[in-house]
Amino acid sequence: MSEIAGAEEQWLGMNRTGRKREICRGAARVFAQKGFESTSVDEIAAHLGVAKGTIYYHFGGKRELFAAMISDGLERLLVDAERSIEKVDDPVEQLSRVLDVLLEHGRRHIDFMRLFFREVLASGREWLTEVAEYRDRFAKLVGPIITRGKAEGRILNIDTDTVIRYVLSALATAVLDLGDGSLPPAGSARLIKRMVMSGISCDPATAGIYDRG
């Protein structure tokens, strides 16, 4: 059995949503290696071990696949961030847990995260329409936390958008620091987290308390 036939047979047991998800996650590796402009659908199909027609069956083209891939990765990240604070009330601890999720995704999904910062948030580029939805969701997630933290005197009087930019900049540092494809060291992520928490908390001396790494 050929590699393509084997992959296609394996996918027969998935529903269409599952197959689209697998294509998105496999495509992230190829896009991350060559960038959006230099990557072809043929290369993505070869990497996944499927026929090119399989990709076109699920997506209208490379642009649609790229947007779906970004949406898939951001959805996973947002869901994990939302779940991380469900049973926590302290605003500083909530921000700490959101940072844990972001930094862990930066380590576990390094191809996607590097692609996100290099291709989607690159200087001079607009947010994709599909991405704006997730930025709004992230703002709605951390906005009330920041508001409550400021009211309690736990978080500095800074606006939500500034915090989002600050956190994304720290995350970009963590995932883009190494250019050889290796994972950022866990110690580096913990240090970045302490720096971010120190910059947000009214009591920087307590920032280390929230380092559970």
pLDDT in tens, the chain (213 residues): 444 444 555 555 567 777 888 899 889 889 988 888 899 999 999 998 888 998 999 999 998 999 899 889 999 999 999 999 998 999 999 999 998 898 888 878 888 888 888 877 765 555 566 677 888 888 899 999 999 999 999 888 888 888 888 888 887 877 776 544 455 555 677 778 888 888 888 876 555 545 554
The predicted structure's pLDDT at residue 190 = 77
pTM: 0.79
Backbone φ and ψ of 10, nearest 5°:
-60, -35
The predicted structure's pLDDT at residue 19 = 83
Are 56 and 154 found together in one domain? Answer: no
Please give the structure tokens belonging to residue 173. 């540092």
Which of 166, 174, 172 lies closest to 191, judged by CA?
174
Are 90 and 188 found together in one domain? Answer: yes
Residue 116's domain is classified under what CATH number? 1.10.357.10
Are 12 and 30 found together in one domain? Answer: yes
Round to whole Å and give the CA distance between 53 and 1.
19
Please give the structure tokens belonging to residue 150. 């400021």
Give the three-state DSSP class for 185: coil
Are 55 and 115 found together in one domain? Answer: no
The predicted structure's pLDDT at residue 205 = 58
Spatial neighbors of 178 by CB under 8 A, at least 6 apart, are 184
The predicted structure's pLDDT at residue 44 = 93
Range of the domain at 51: 3-60
Are 99 and 158 found together in one domain? Answer: yes
SS3 annotation, 126-171: CCCHHHHHHHHHHHHHHHHHHHHHHHCCCECCCCHHHHHHHHHHHH
CA angle 97, 106, 163 (to 5 degrees): 55
Please give the structure tokens belonging to residue 178. 């190494």
Backbone φ and ψ of 155, nearest 5°:
-125, 140
Q: How many domains does the chain have?
A: 2
Residue 9's domain is classified under what CATH number? 1.10.10.60
What letter does residue 208 receive in the DSSP assignment?
G
The predicted structure's pLDDT at residue 193 = 82
User: Tokens 């699920």 map to which residue?
Assistant: 58
